[in-house]
Structures are given as C-alpha cells and as structure tokens.
Amino acid sequence: MGREPRRVRTRFAPSPTGFLHVGAFRTALFSYLLAKRYGGDFLLRIEDTDQKRLVKGSLEHIIQSLNALGTPYDEGPDRASVAALPEAYGTVDPALLPENGGAFGPYIQSLRKARYTEVVESLLDAGKAYWAFETEEELAGKRAACDARKIPYRYDRHFRDYDLAEARKRVADGERAVVRLKMPTEGPIRTVDFLRGETLWDANTQDDFIILKADGLPPYHLAAMVDDHDMEISHVLRGEEWISSTPKHVSVFQAMGWEPPIFLHTPGVLGNDRKKLGKRNGAKPLLGPVPEFDKNYVPTGEFLIGYLNQDGILPEALFNFLSICGWSPGNDREVMTREEIIEAFDISKISPSPAIFDLEKLQWMNGVYIRSLSPSAFYEKARPYLPEGLDADYAAAAIALEQERVKELREVPEVTDFFFSELPEYSERSVAKWLKGSGAYLAELDSAIAALPEWSVAAIEAAVRSVAASHKREKGEATHPVRVALTGREVGPGLFELMAVLGKERLAVRFKKAKELADGGTDS
C-alpha cells in the first residue's frame, strides 16, 4: 500500500541568539514558499536549549522580522508560551503573538523539556542510548590523548554497555551525567539530501553523541529531531552547515522508529566578493541597527523592520529579491509578485551552488518597486525618512519628482532637501561656475516668473525660454544657472517641474539670494 502523501509542513527554527541575518532569513523564506505553494503550514520554532547563547530581545526581533517581510507563521509561539519564559528573553509585544499558537505547541524548545526527557528515557529503556559519567576533566584528558596521537577525537564509548539500573542509581544520587546515543558501529549510515542525493557515511567516523546534557536539556541534535517528528514536519530546509550532522539526525529517527522528513540543505548566501556574507559585504540585520538589542527601537508599521528600515528597501522588494537568491523559476523572470513567486516555487530549482547577495541588484529591484507605487503610496512610504512637520501636499509633490530615480527610500531626504530648507546650500564651485556672470539673467527671470499670470510647468518653461533667448543663452547656459540658483545643485529633477512645485514665493526668495551671490561677476 502506498504511503499517504504528507501535508506539507515546514519550519523556521532559529536560535534566539542575536539578529536575524539575511542568509538565515532566505532559508526561512524558502520554507515559507514551499509551505504556501502546497497550501501547507509554516511554523516558527524557537531553538533555545543552549541557554548560554540566549540574547535578550532576539525573540521579539525574530517575530517582527518575519512579519515585516511578509512571512508570518501559521503556527508558533503564542501569548501563553511567551509569558512563561523568564525575563532573560526580554518582552515580546503581545500584538505580535497569536492567542493560540497551534495544535503542536509549545513551539519554544525550553518549554518542551518533559517531552525530550520522555524520548531520552524511551531510548535508554530500549538499549539505544546510555548514561555516561565522565567529568569535564576526564573528557578533556581523552581529547588530549587523541590530539597527542594526532587522531581525530571520538568519545571512546566507555559507558556504552554499562548496566542501566546501576547508571540510573548513580544519576538519582545526583552524579553528573549525560546521555549518549548508540550510533551504529559498522556499515554505512545513509542520508539523503533533496538537492544532493544520497550520501553514505562511514560509521567509524561517527560519535556516540550527547542527546541529553548534564543540565537536563537536550542539544539541537535531539531536540530538533523530536520536534520535527512531533510537529509533523514534512520538509526540513536548513543551512548546509548541518549536512555533516545529518547522520546523527537520521540515527535519532531510526532509533525511535520514526520516518525522517525530507532534508534539503540550502547553499549559503555569499557577498558579491564571493566571501561569506558579513557586515563588510552587505549582511545586515533585518531589523535595522540593533546591535544592542535594547528597547530603544520601538518601531511600528512596516518600516520598522527593516534591514531595511535603515535603507528603505520595501518589504515586497526584499521578498522578491531573496526569493531569487539561489532559486529561479527557470525562465528569465526576476520581478514577480508574491503570488507569482508562490505559484512558481519549486524546490528542485534551488541552485546547489552558493547564492550571491548582490546588493546592487537588490537596490535596482527596489527601484522597480518604488516606481510602481502610486505617488501617494510613495509619499506614505517615504514619510518616515523625511523631516517632521512638513506640509504634506507640498512634500508629496516635491518627492514625487524623484520617484523615478531613487533606489532606496533613505535617499529621498538627501535628494529633495533643497525643497524643504529656507535656502539651498550653494557650493563655492557651482556659484563660481554658474552664478557668477548670470546676475542680470537671473534678475530678469525673477521678474518674468513673478509676473506669470498662470502657474503651470508649460508657462514656466515658456517664460524661462524666452528670457534665455533674449540673453542668447542655449542649453546648459540657459538652464544650469537657474537650477543652481534654485536648488544649489547641478543635477536633479526636471527644472520646470521643480520650479512649479517650489512655487512663486520660494522662487522669488531663491532668485534674490542667487543674484546676491552672482554679484561681482561680469554679466553676459
């Protein structure tokens, strides 16, 4: 009889140990896409059994990041389970948490201790695991002995056949002990990776690894497998650094008589320089500059979280960009909506070689998304980057002139600041180059503009052209002095458009100042 196809259930299982890196998030995104492609479930599971590495605030950061990027979890931490965590986790805004996290909870490993103990006990009972009593010093000695002989260290399995009743007595008496899994001693251990196929691992290279630490919590190697089984995960997508641990993981499934999920190890994400993605070549926290994880950032709304709130990448653009970071729908399409990506997503088209995080491409793509916004949506998105207290209509009209050109929202204040200051900033260089000698020209323009009966881009252009003609000025000679006079810059949005937005009063003030600066030059 054929096996029932499993419901597609995937998980993102980060440890709350700091900010979420784009590489980790890219793998989470693939898990999300796979689940959504088949109408399945995407889970968030917090892997916190290594309590020493806990970083306050990172739990909230993980959840905020998933929401901000548009990959919220179907099942995961809920209010009650988060409330049960000690203070060291920091707080999580309850608005971010579901009332009920799902039928397989809690989704936080430190709250699942009893279940892991149960599994470990059953492995002990079945003779598939054993208590080991070496002290830290004894283990260090064993390791040193291997080092001295220049052979790779493996635990010598000293307690592998130790009497269980005896061992339990010692544990009950409070002796420090760990539980180790009995790994096969011969024959290959077979693992299958969805992208790479089968690997046969020599049993001689495998260790009887620890499945319960002396502190009573299991390490990742046990906890994650128990959870993947219990939570009915169908596909484990995780970073390729876990490939060499897969023999351990399939051995846990085998020992328990469980069917393993499909493993797919995602190739890493490298920087443009083909080196590991780090601060140097583009890696950033998804959640803005939060190295301290203190509570000084309290962003809300969709910008908040941005890797991208620093730079102003739109979440849709990041979603799209990361989806093609190591995956391609098999044609040349790159710009796709969320729905198109989900529809096309196919794990067999994940590239087996490392993906390149090409920041320039992300910026280009973000530009595409920015251009597709309506002017009012663009204004709403750009608002957090603009100074406060601006007149909304004026600011919206001003920045609309740059919508075609900006690639990141953070550029908006920089390229539009001349609209919002009393006077532009004039550099000595452009004053010398474009204003000196243009005083009379600017004076006449000032009067012509002031006298315009109708305010439109066309009327402004006609007026400027006619004054320029009477001064025998053509092309750059006609427009550059005006642009510099009004904006302080030599490049920028369309001159007549920006004049129309600035309006008569602001233009008059600027022409006056520019004429003063032009004074002293010889006019043409």
Fill in the DSSP letter of residue 270: E
Does an H or E element contain 32, and which? helix 22-37
- The one catalytic residue among 279, 361, 433, 475: 279
| Residue 43 C-beta: closest distance to ligand GLU, Å | 11
**Nearer of residues 224 and 269 to ligand GLU, judged by Cβ:** 224
Q: Are 108 and 48 in contact (CB under 8 A)?
A: yes
Peptide bond into 106 cis (omega under 30): yes
| Residue 59 C-beta: closest distance to ligand GLU, Å | 13
**Nearer of residues 170 and 221 to ligand GLU, judged by Cβ:** 221
- Give the amino acid at 90: G
Site for ligand GLU, rule CB under 6 A: 13-15, 47, 220, 224, 238, 242
| Residue 117 C-beta: closest distance to ligand GLU, Å | 20
**Nearer of residues 47 and 411 to ligand GLU, judged by Cβ:** 47
Q: Which residue, among 414, 408, 417, has the nearest Cα to 310 in the 3D structure?
A: 408
Those residues with Cβ within 8 angstroms of residue 501's Cβ, 6 or more apart along the chain or in another chain: 394, 397, 398, 401, 419
| Residue 225 C-beta: closest distance to ligand GLU, Å | 9
Q: Which residue, among 281, 363, 284, has the nearest Cα to 24 in the 3D structure?
A: 284
State how far the Cα of 20 lies from the Cα of 59, in Å rounded to an integer.
10
State how far the Cα of 105 lies from the Cα of 97, in Å rounded to an integer.
13
State how far the Cα of 521 lies from the Cα of 242, in Å rounded to an integer.
71
| Residue 109 C-beta: closest distance to ligand GLU, Å | 9
75 DSSP β-pair partners: 43
Angle at 43 between CA 292 and CA 239, to 5 degrees: 65
Q: What are the C-alpha distances in Å from 436 to residues 430, 442, 444, 515, 524? A: 9, 11, 15, 9, 10
| Residue 77 C-beta: closest distance to ligand GLU, Å | 14
| Residue 299 C-beta: closest distance to ligand GLU, Å | 24
State how far the Cα of 49 lies from the Cα of 45, in Å rounded to an integer.
12
**Nearer of residues 246 and 430 to ligand GLU, judged by Cβ:** 246
**Nearer of residues 18 and 315 to ligand GLU, judged by Cβ:** 18
Q: Are 221 and 250 in contact (CB under 8 A)?
A: no
Copy the structure tokens of residue 356.
């390149």
Q: Which residue, among 310, 402, 308, has the nearest Cα to 320 in the 3D structure?
A: 308
- Give the amino acid at 59: L
Copy the structure tokens of residue 116.
């892991």
Q: Which residue, among 284, 282, 338, has the nearest Cα to 309 in the 3D structure?
A: 284
| Residue 260 C-beta: closest distance to ligand GLU, Å | 13
Q: Is 52 a catalytic residue?
A: no
User: φ, ψ for residue 239 (rounded to 5)?
Assistant: -65, 155
**Nearer of residues 104 and 133 to ligand GLU, judged by Cβ:** 104
Fill in the DSSP letter of residue 169: H
The Cβ-side half-sphere exposure at 477, using a 13 Å CA radius, reads: 11
**Nearer of residues 70 and 239 to ligand GLU, judged by Cβ:** 239
The Cβ-side half-sphere exposure at 503, using a 13 Å CA radius, reads: 9
**Nearer of residues 220 and 364 to ligand GLU, judged by Cβ:** 220
Three-state SS at 70: coil
CA dihedral 468, 474, 475, 477 (to 10 degrees): -70
Q: Are 503 and 420 in contact (CB under 8 A)?
A: no
**Which residue reads 């009889």 in tokens?**
1
| Residue 328 C-beta: closest distance to ligand GLU, Å | 23
77 DSSP β-pair partners: none
**Nearer of residues 74 and 444 to ligand GLU, judged by Cβ:** 74
**Nearer of residues 325 and 499 to ligand GLU, judged by Cβ:** 325
Q: Which residues are catalytic?
A: 279
